[in-house]
């Protein structure tokens, strides 16, 4: 009962801090926090594959980037395109791509899955680079309008205002995080974890493993696409190098491992730590990829369960010590 009360108090403090943040920090750190929230969502979608289903995607940027490009292209070529629909079309693009690839991806696991996702990710990256007339190549697509949030007959909110966009993006990310958390608590979410723990046993019990994997892939792809869509709205620029490259696939892996693979909130912690480190390191060097790689190696070697795992281990030892004494 006391633990539940502490959790409610903690969540209350978090909500209050998020609500008053625009009054406390500059626009730079407001954008910094939005980027942290977007990549928290993105990293959690990867963790639903890695930590929950037991497969590692080296090409996760293809879902993120497809969502970002779908939103940018819709806003560029369709005048008056609604804001909410622009976000949803990003999610739809990511989900459809995942479903299209699922007939091949659900047949493999382990290293084969990782290499296949890497191959698909690089293929989409190269194709996007080649068709510059559509994607803009390395220069990307920019200058598209950010439409207001319209609710006919009720309100119209200007999304070019930094504070308005902050609340909108945080609301979208928070809703997505809640939906994904709820998804992990459903019987289907337990089935996904069962596949990770013992796929052979789940198959013997009569569960349709390919279908389950395909649905989980679609969910991950769709929400990664939504993260990409909000990223496109934040940056007002989408380029192949910025949303489809290997670095964009590698970042959520590092975030998941730093925070804790298999823990729902672990990637959020990892995203926060990585964003803070990158913000500090970029002032001294542009070798962000090298820094991320070093962090990844250190975490895998010395804290394979991430910070959440270290906390749980320390907590278990402390309670055990109290019982003994």
What would the two tokens of residue 250 be? Answer: 């590698």
Helix count and strand count (H, E) for the chain: 14, 4
Query: 85 in helix, strand or coil?
Result: helix
The region that residue 247 occupies, defined by phi over 0 for left and psi between -120 and 50 for alpha, beta otherwise, is alpha
pLDDT at position 304 is: 80
Residue-range domain boundaries for the chain: 28-324
Cβ-Cβ contacts under 8 Å for 238 (sequence gap 6 or more): 65, 68, 69, 71, 72, 136, 140, 141, 142, 232
pLDDT at position 312 is: 77
Which class does domain 28-324 fall in?
mainly alpha
DSSP state of 109: -
Residue 170's closest CA among 25, 14, 307? 14
Burial (CB < 10 A; 0-12, 13-18, 19+), residue 158, is exposed
Report in angstroms the alpha-carbon separations of 165 from 28, 87, 230.
13, 13, 10
Query: 25 in helix, strand or coil?
Result: coil
pLDDT, block means (10 residues), the chain with 325 residues: 76 90 91 96 96 93 97 93 96 97 92 95 94 89 91 83 95 97 94 90 90 96 98 95 93 93 91 91 81 85 83 70 57
Count other Cβ atoms within 10 Å, centred on residue 251. Answer: 26
Cβ-Cβ contacts under 8 Å for 250 (sequence gap 6 or more): 58, 289, 292, 293, 296
pLDDT at position 1 is: 61
What would the two tokens of residue 288 be? Answer: 């962000």
Specify the residue for token string 């892996």. Answer: 253
Distance, CA of 228 to CA of 224 (rounded, Å)? 6
Give 235-259 as a 3 state SS string.
HCEECHHHHCCHHHHHHHHHHHHHH
**What pTM was computed for the model?**
0.93
| Start-end of H helices in 140-186 | 162-185
**Is residue 271 within 8 Å of residue 255, measured between CB atoms?**
yes
pLDDT at position 271 is: 94
Distance, CA of 240 to CA of 171 (rounded, Å)? 27
């Amino acid at each position: 009962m006391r633990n539940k009360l502490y959790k409610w108090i903690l969540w209350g403090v978090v909500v209050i801090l998020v609500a008053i943040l625009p009054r406390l920090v500059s626009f730079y750190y407001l954008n910094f926090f939005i980027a942290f929230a977007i990549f928290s969502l993105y990293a959690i979608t990867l963790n639903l594959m890695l930590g929950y289903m037991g497969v590692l995607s080296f090409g996760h940027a293809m879902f993120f980037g497809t969502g970002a490009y779908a939103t940018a292209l819709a806003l560029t070529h369709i005048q008056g395109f609604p804001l909410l629909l622009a976000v949803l079309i990003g999610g739809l693009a990511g989900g459809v791509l995942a479903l299209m690839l699922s007939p091949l991806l659900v047949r493999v696991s382990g290293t084969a899955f990782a290499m296949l996702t890497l191959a698909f990710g690089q293929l989409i990256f190269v194709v996007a680079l080649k068709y510059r007339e559509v994607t803009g190549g390395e220069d990307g697509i920019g200058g598209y309008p950010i439409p207001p949030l319209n609710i006919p007959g009720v309100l119209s909110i200007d999304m070019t205002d930094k504070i308005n966009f902050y609340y909108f993006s945080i609301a979208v990310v928070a809703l997505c995080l809640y939906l994904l958390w709820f998804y992990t608590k459903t019987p289907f979410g337990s089935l996904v974890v069962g596949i990770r723990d013992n796929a052979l046993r789940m198959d013997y019990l009569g569960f349709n493993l390919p279908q389950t994997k395909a649905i989980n892939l679609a969910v991950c792809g769709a929400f990664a696409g939504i993260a990409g869509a909000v990223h496109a709205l934040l940056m007002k620029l989408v380029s192949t190098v910025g949303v489809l490259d290997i670095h964009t696939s590698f970042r959520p892996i590092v975030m998941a491992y730093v925070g804790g693979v298999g823990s729902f909130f672990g990637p959020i912690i990892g995203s926060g730590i990585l964003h803070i480190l990158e913000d500090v390191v970029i002032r001294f060097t542009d070798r962000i990829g090298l820094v991320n790689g070093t962090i990844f190696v250190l975490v895998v070697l010395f804290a394979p369960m991430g910070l959440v795992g270290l906390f749980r281990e320390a907590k278990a030892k402390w309670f055990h010590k109290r019982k003994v004494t």
